[in-house]
Structure 1
Amino acid sequence: MTSPALSPLAGALARTDFAESWYRWCDARRDWAAEATGTYDEDSLLTASGGFAALPASEFMRAYRVAGAEVSRGSTGRRSFTVEVAAGDVVCVLTVQLGRGLNSQECRLAVFADGERQGEPEMLHTLALAIRRSRGEPDPEPPYPRPIIGSRSQLEVVSREIVDVLGQVARGWTS
């Protein structure tokens, strides 16, 4: 069975460590403090019920800004925002929708070159699975996870690494 061809966006992401990183970013129980550069007095967001305390959208936005991205608020009251990473005339635009009462990140990515959108926006979780399948790798379980932020350290690392990947895509994009 032949794998379907990757979209240009998936192809650009496949040239980075995105597919491997996506599934790592989705592991809220990992020791993220070991990978973070900052230290946080109240790092863990784990609650007594076993869930995670929801962070305000502003804290997510601040983490992406600190990582080097331009960030703007999305729809009022929808817990969404936009992350932009540019290299020359190429801009990666990531729309992040936070889950209600959860720190899950639903991420949709589009690339603009010379002001023109390059294809339709695509969901990062779908792109990660498509890249794995194109390499003949087995589907992970679950196949379509989203990062659910379980600590401030995780937010720092995930936002920093996502911004890095977006920068790699922007720098390597050819229109």
Structure 2
Amino acid sequence: MTSPALSPLAQALARTDFAENWYRWCDAQRDWAAEATGTYEEDSLLTASGGFAALPASEFMRAYRAAGADVSRGSTFPGPRHRSFTVEVAEGPTVCSLAVRLGRGLNSQECRLAVLADGERQGEPEMLHAIARDIRLSRGEPDPNPPYPRPIIGSRGQLEVVSRGIVDVLGQVVRGWAS
């Protein structure tokens, strides 16, 4: 199998630990409370039926704000879903803009990233799950299974760790892009 050519955005993410972390952030079996810095009275979102209680978009937005990003309701995702928001991390005139759409009845996060320099979009927005796979394949790693996971938030500790990690990676990308 030929490894994919990486876009400039994927190349920027490949210079961080994003690809490894993306698959870790998607691991519902981890002990997220051990990795979180906050403590949560009601951490687990597991329900009696074995699913996860859906969190409101506002709780996701608060987590990304607490991680240091600017967050606004709504996103650039097309379609009728309203459980979306935009996360932005800036360095001077350069901005990483992450459109996040939450799954219906799930706490899954579908994330599409774009970089803007001086207000001009740098290439087309790209899905984070696809970039993570492309980076791994470009390094000669085997095709991940599943190939395109999304983080499904099963606890408030996981939400904290994932939002903090994503904001950190966006900061690394925007600082690298701006220099």
1:136 is aligned to 140
Residue 148 (structure 1) aligned with residue 152 (structure 2): yes
- Equivalent position amino acid for 1:113 in 2: A
Residue identity (%): 85
Q: For the residues of structure 1 that align with 2:162 and 2:90, how far apart are their CA atoms?
A: 18
Per-residue deviation, 1:3: 2.2
Question: 1:20-51 deviations in whole A, cap 9, x for unaligned?
Answer: 00000001221001110000000000011111
Q: Which deviates further from its counterpart, 22-31 or 64-73?
A: 22-31
User: Is contact 1:73–1:80 with CA below 8 Å preserved after alignment?
Assistant: yes
2:173 is aligned to 169
Question: 1:93-145 deviations in whole A, cap 9, x for unaligned?
Answer: 00000000000000000000111100000000000000000000001110000
User: Is contact 1:81–1:96 with CA below 8 Å preserved after alignment?
Assistant: yes
> What secondary structure does 2:135 align onto?
helix
1:52 is aligned to 52
User: Is contact 2:92–2:178 with CA below 8 Å preserved after alignment?
Assistant: no
Q: For the residues of structure 2 that align with 1:49 and 1:2, how far apart are their CA atoms?
A: 42
1:43 is aligned to 43
- Equivalent position amino acid for 1:10 in 2: A
> What secondary structure does 1:48 align onto?
coil
User: Which ranges in structure 1 are unaligned for 5 or more consecutive residues?
Assistant: none
User: Is contact 1:29–1:150 with CA below 8 Å preserved after alignment?
Assistant: no
The counterpart of 2:96, out of the listed 62, 71, 92, is 92
For these two proteins, the number of residue pairs brought into alignment is: 175
Question: Post-superposition, which runs of at least 4 consecutive aligned residues in structure 1 deviate over 6 A?
Answer: none
Q: For the residues of structure 2 that align with 1:5 and 1:89, how far apart are their CA atoms?
A: 28
> What secondary structure does 1:86 align onto?
strand
1:1-175 matched pairs, under 5 angstroms = 2-74=2-74, 78-173=82-177
Q: TM-score, normalised by structure 1?
A: 0.96
User: Which ranges in structure 2 are unaligned for 5 or more consecutive residues?
Assistant: none
Question: 1:45-78 deviations in whole A, cap 9, x for unaligned?
Answer: 0011111000000000000000000000006961
Q: TM-score, normalised by structure 2?
A: 0.94
Q: For the residues of structure 2 that align with 1:169 and 1:119, how far apart are their CA atoms?
A: 14
